[in-house]
């Protein structure tokens, strides 16, 4: 059985935010996730999750600062620590991190065209080494996510599963893995099942949405039956998060999510 997680910033938007925890639990989700903890009342988040008896898988651990900018290291770590404090308060078990700061709508704030790829990669590695020490102290895992540069996040540095997984393998901590977002990978790379199998040891979370459109499985070109069968065959133990925008409404999207 896959452990299914609902992104409640895209699903259940017909309801008040704090009602979405119980709605996700009632539909059979094992956990929930969301994006920006800073705009939420953390006491209400914790209470809503506890009342619904549903796990908070995680939220974004970075927003305003970039791993690839060597001048951002100190501020990045301060921001990450605040996110880990927030995760500890609500009982979240992971935070999601990215190579570049993201603004409204996920727009990449700075493409850093003035920096070479060497500087960006070395800066990301150096700041991740320091970040892992914080994550290990808090015992909250970071999931490093690559993003597609064709549609949603033009200018993002971390684009491939290979780069993400090779960096996390080098750092070699159970508190740093990758977030494999099938929607983003389909745009940047394709070969979803191949990439899952090749980098399986580093995958700590998966995001699901069909492509194009970012709607529920069955609305686009991705063969999610094959993706699920690959995960089951390999013995995937972490969560599968549904970060998708319903084509019509949440009820129809949930039906599609649970049919396979």
The domain locations on the chain are 3-257
Please provide the distance, in angstroms rounded to a whole number, between the alpha carbons at the two ends of the chain.
11
> Residue 219, SS3?
coil
CATH for 3-257 is 3.20.20.150
- Residues 208, 206: Cα–Cα separation, whole Å: 7
DSSP assignment, residue 108?
Answer: B
Q: Report which DSSP code applies to 216.
A: S
**CB of 81 closer than 8 Å to CB of 130:** no
- Residue with the two structure tokens 């009820």: 251
How far apart CA 143 and CA 156 sit, in angstroms, is 16
Tens-digit pLDDT string for the chain (260 aa): 899 999 999 999 999 999 999 999 999 999 999 999 999 999 999 999 999 999 999 999 998 999 999 999 999 999 999 999 999 999 999 999 999 999 998 999 999 999 999 999 999 999 999 999 999 999 999 999 999 999 999 999 999 999 999 999 999 999 999 999 999 999 999 999 999 999 999 999 999 999 999 999 999 999 999 999 999 999 999 999 999 999 999 999 999 999 98
Specify the pTM: 0.97
């Amino acid at each position: 059985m896959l452990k299914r997680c609902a992104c409640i910033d895209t699903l259940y938007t017909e309801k008040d935010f704090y009602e979405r925890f119980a709605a996700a639990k009632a539909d059979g989700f094992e956990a929930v996730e969301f994006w920006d903890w800073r705009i939420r009342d953390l006491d209400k988040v914790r209470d809503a999750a506890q009342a619904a008896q549903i796990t908070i898988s995680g939220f974004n651990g970075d927003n305003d600062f970039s791993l690839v900018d060597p001048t951002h290291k100190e501020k990045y770590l301060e921001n990450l620590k605040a996110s880990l404090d927030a995760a500890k308060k609500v009982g979240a078990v992971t935070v999601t991190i990215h190579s570049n700061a993201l603004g409204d709508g996920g727009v990449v704030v700075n493409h850093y065209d003035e920096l070479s790829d060497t500087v960006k990669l070395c800066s990301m590695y150096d700041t991740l080494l320091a970040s892992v020490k914080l994550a290990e102290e808090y015992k909250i895992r970071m999931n490093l996510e690559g993003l597609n540069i064709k549609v949603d996040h033009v200018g993002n540095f971390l684009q491939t599963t290979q780069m993400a997984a090779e960096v996390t393998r080098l750092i070699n901590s159970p508190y740093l893995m990758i977030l494999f977002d099938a929607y983003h990978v389909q745009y940047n790379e394709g070969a979803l099942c191949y990439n899952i199998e090749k980098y399986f040891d580093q995958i700590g979370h998966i995001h699901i949405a069909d492509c194009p459109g970012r709607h529920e499985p069955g609305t686009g070109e991705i063969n999610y039956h094959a993706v699920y069968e690959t995960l089951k065959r390999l013995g995937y133990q972490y969560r599968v998060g549904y970060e998708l925008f319903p084509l019509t409404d949440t009820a129809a999207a949930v039906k599609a999510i649970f049919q396979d």
